[in-house]
Amino acid sequence: MSLIRKISRLSARHLACHWIPLQQERGVISFSFDDVPASACHQGAALLEQYQARGTFYVCGGLTDGIEQSQPCHSVQDLQRLACNGHEIACHTYAHRNCADTAIPVLQTDWERNQAFFKTHQLPSTGFAFPFGAYGLLSKIAASRRFAYSRITGGGLQTGRADLAALRAQALYANTMTTEQIAALIRRADQQRGWLIFYSHEVSAQPGPWGTSPQQLETALRLASESRCRLLTVQKAIHYFQHGDEGD
Ligand SMILES: [Zn+2]
């Protein structure tokens, strides 16, 4: 990473923050999927629904009907069915861009293209996740002007307060995350009334390095639903932390 990018990244972490307090009665656990392989729309959503949970799906319109990391991606019909069933659809850029590397005018055009894609297909969408979790100060500010919130990666959970311009999320990857680690994070979210946002990609019995398995996802859902935490989409979690209810 170049020095300028390092400085931009470091300053982005501490500047242009939009804090909300995490001080409701219960903690929250959110499940999200980036790029949105077809398996996340099918097996992933079905498992969530078995536990009365709904997920947040960060979509690149440029990946629709395509292949990403050897995984078949979502179709428009998949996304419309998810939205109908109460899941959240959100933006992940149109072309899966690294926002730390992209000039802001190019990024604005890309975001507009993805928003037009959502509009064409009647998909409500207000949130955003940075591809690769990559952002700088300028892209953080630009995203926070356009979207209701932005999610990054970074690992772990947030307690006490959360930055709506850079919500921290934890990878749920079958090859690197143990059940004990998942259980410990859920316990912390519960005890400290914090917010744990999981993210993954495909849901497959033999996932690649960035995917989860049905067994792992089900274990995380079971542990989450056995805790006192609420299971909410990212959008509804923000409403809960701000107002004490989930909104519409
Ligand atoms: Zn991505």
Mean pLDDT calculated for residue range 89-110: 97
**Residues paired with residue 127 on neighbouring β-strands, in sequence order:** 149
- Asked whether residue 4 carries a pLDDT value surpassing 90, the answer given is no
* C-alpha span between 228 and 242 (Å, rounded): 19
pLDDT > 90: percent of the chain: 90
- Asked whether residue 6 carries a pLDDT value surpassing 90, the answer given is no
**How buried is 53 (Cβ within 10 angstroms: 0-12 exposed, 13-18 middle, 19+ buried)?**
buried
Q: How far is the CA of 244 from the centre of ligand 1 (A)?
A: 31
User: What is the tens place of the pLDDT at every residue in 138-163?
Assistant: 999 999 999 999 999 999 999 999 99
- Boundaries of every domain in the chain: 9-243
Report the mean per-residue pLDDT for the chain.
96
Per-residue pLDDT at 94: 98
Per-residue pLDDT at 80: 98
Q: How far is the CA of 34 from the centre of ligand 1 (A)?
A: 5
* C-alpha span between 63 and 18 (Å, rounded): 30
| CB neighbourhood size of 21 (10 A) | 10
More confident residue, 10 or 81: 81
- Give yes or no for a contact between 7 and 228, defined as CB atoms under 8 angstroms apart: no
- Asked whether residue 248 carries a pLDDT value surpassing 80, the answer given is no
More confident residue, 216 or 245: 216
User: What is the tens place of the pLDDT at every residue in 179-222?
Assistant: 999 999 999 999 999 999 999 999 999 999 999 999 999 999 99
Per-residue pLDDT at 1: 64
Mean pLDDT calculated for residue range 90-105: 96
Q: How far is the CA of 211 from the centre of ligand 1 (A)?
A: 12
Q: How far is the CA of 23 from the centre of ligand 1 (A)?
A: 30
Q: What is the dihedral of CA 34, 153, 212, 51, to 10 degrees?
A: -80
| CB neighbourhood size of 116 (10 A) | 12
Nearest Cα neighbor of 138 from 107, 169, 117 is 107
Look at the alpha carbons of 132, 197, 125, 137 in this order and tell me if their dihedral is positive or negative.
Answer: negative
Q: How far is the CA of 199 from the centre of ligand 1 (A)?
A: 10
pLDDT > 70: percent of the chain: 99
Per-residue pLDDT at 224: 98
Q: How far is the CA of 9 from the centre of ligand 1 (A)?
A: 18
Q: How far is the CA of 56 from the centre of ligand 1 (A)?
A: 13
* C-alpha span between 179 and 97 (Å, rounded): 32
* C-alpha span between 173 and 69 (Å, rounded): 14
The architecture CATH gives domain 9-243: Alpha-Beta Barrel (3.20)
Side chain identity at residue 214, one-letter code: P
For 221, the 3-state DSSP assignment is helix
Residue 122: left if φ>0, alpha if ψ -120 to 50, beta else—which one? Answer: left
Angle at 87 between CA 139 and CA 207, to 5 degrees: 80
Q: Which residues contact 85 (CB under 8 A, 6 or more apart)?
A: 45, 49, 54
Q: Categorize the per-residue pLDDT at 167 as very low, low, confident or very high, splitting at 50, 70 and 90.
A: very high
Mean pLDDT calculated for residue range 101-126: 97
User: What is the tens place of the pLDDT at every residue in 36-66?
Assistant: 999 999 999 999 999 999 999 999 999 999 9
